[in-house]
Amino acid sequence: MASYAVQAKYGDYDPKIHKPGFLAQEELLPKRVINLYQMTPEMWEERITACYAEHRGRARDEAEMEYLKIAQDLEMYGVSYFSIRNKKGTNLMLGVDAFGLHIYDPENKLTPKISFPWNEIRNISYSDKEILQLCIGNHDLFMRRRRVDSLEVQQMKSQAREEKARKQLERHRLCREKQLREDAERARDDLERRLLQLQDEAQLANEALLRSEETADLLAEKAQIAEEEAKLLAQKAAEAEQEMQRLQVTALRTEEEKRLMEQKVLEAEVLALKMAEESERRATEAEQLKQDLQDAREAEKRAKQKLIEIASKSSHTPLKSSTATMPTDIPSFENGNFTFDFKDTDMKRLSMEIEKEKVEYMEKSKHLQE
């Protein structure tokens, strides 16, 4: 009912005009119904607006008729209420409608406590004509609905029906044109939206193509760089392999040189030991030669002394008249020949032996130093 009331007041629903909140000031529902459900005003407005949108194309009078059709099925439809008191002084409500008289509790106007149909009522006492006029009016309406209309009224109703049908056709035509226009506008909007979407997709495709080309160039550059890096790494690997082989050869050579050095050191130690032993032996021989030289010099000195003594003795002894009696094998001491011969022979021998020992000692010392 509320949606039909809104349709009769505002016409067709238009979301551009009828925005949320346009029913905030309207009293469309009784408080009893609002309090019966746990719903906020915004929720009620949303429900009423949804039903209101379904009545699109209905005229205002049609909306009013639909409103009345629903209203006449309600229990309170066509009931006029009056405040009364009974003999006990209790406040009650008297309801008068086309079916009869009804007694209500003031707190509940939906369900009557007791009803009196008109066909069971014989006499009514009243102090004012208001209830009587209401009853007369209801009776007149009741009788009018059952009375046959006059020819003029029938013509007027026929004209009204024709006018209503014409208006309905016109309204349907307008609604159809409006619907077609709205469909065309929606189609145009869809086409425009589709065009914009296609333009956006084309732009995105172009951007994607550009990005793909840039990506392809970048990947090609990266591939070239990767290939160069691979070549460089292969070259470095080959160099590393060569370096490793060289280090292995160097290690083997170093090991061999180390072994040879150790061998040379061992040989040098052995040679040094031999040279030390030889030096000691030579030193011993030199000492012995020095001792022999000293002994020889002492012997020479003793021989010289002895020759001097012999010479001095012979000078004091008188010579014989004949020299033939002297032994021929006795060496002559004249001019010191004996002494000279003794010195020359021993000294040469000693000098040669000493020089020989010096040369051998110098050679061995030089070899030991190397």
- Tokens 């890096």 sit on residue: 229
DSSP one-letter code for 25:
T
Say how far apart CA 121 and CA 101 lie, in whole Å. Answer: 9
**Interhelix angle 60-71/2-10, nearest 10 degrees:** 160
Is the dihedral angle over the CA atoms 321, 326, 330, 331 positive or is it negative? Answer: positive
At residue 92, the pLDDT reads: 92
Other CB atoms within a 10 A radius of the CB of residue 102 amount to 21
Distance of CA 298 to the CA centre of its chain: 111
HSE of 5, CA atoms in CB hemisphere, 13 A: 10
Mean pLDDT by 10 residues, the chain (370 residues): 82 79 78 80 85 80 83 80 86 86 87 86 72 72 72 83 84 82 88 91 89 87 88 88 85 82 84 81 78 78 79 58 39 40 57 74 65
Domains belonging to the chain, first-starting first, are 1-74 (1.20.80.10), 76-141 (2.30.29.30)
CA 44 to each of CA 14, 40, 61: distance values in angstroms, whole numbers, following the listed order: 18, 6, 25
Outline where 123-150 has alpha helix (H).
130-146
Residue 70 CA to residue 49 CA, distance in Å, equals 18
User: Following DSSP, what letter does each residue of 293-334 receive, concatenated?
Assistant: HHHHHHHHHHHHHHHHHHHHHHHHSPPPS-STTS-TTSPP-G
CA atoms within a 13 Å half-sphere pointing along the CA-CB vector of 224 = 5
Predicted confidence at residue 367, as pLDDT, reads: 61
Residue 205: strand, helix, or coil: helix
Residues whose CB is less than 8 angstroms from the CB of residue 91 and which lie 6 or more positions away in sequence, other chains included: 83, 84, 85, 106
pTM of the model: 0.40
pLDDT of residue 348: 67
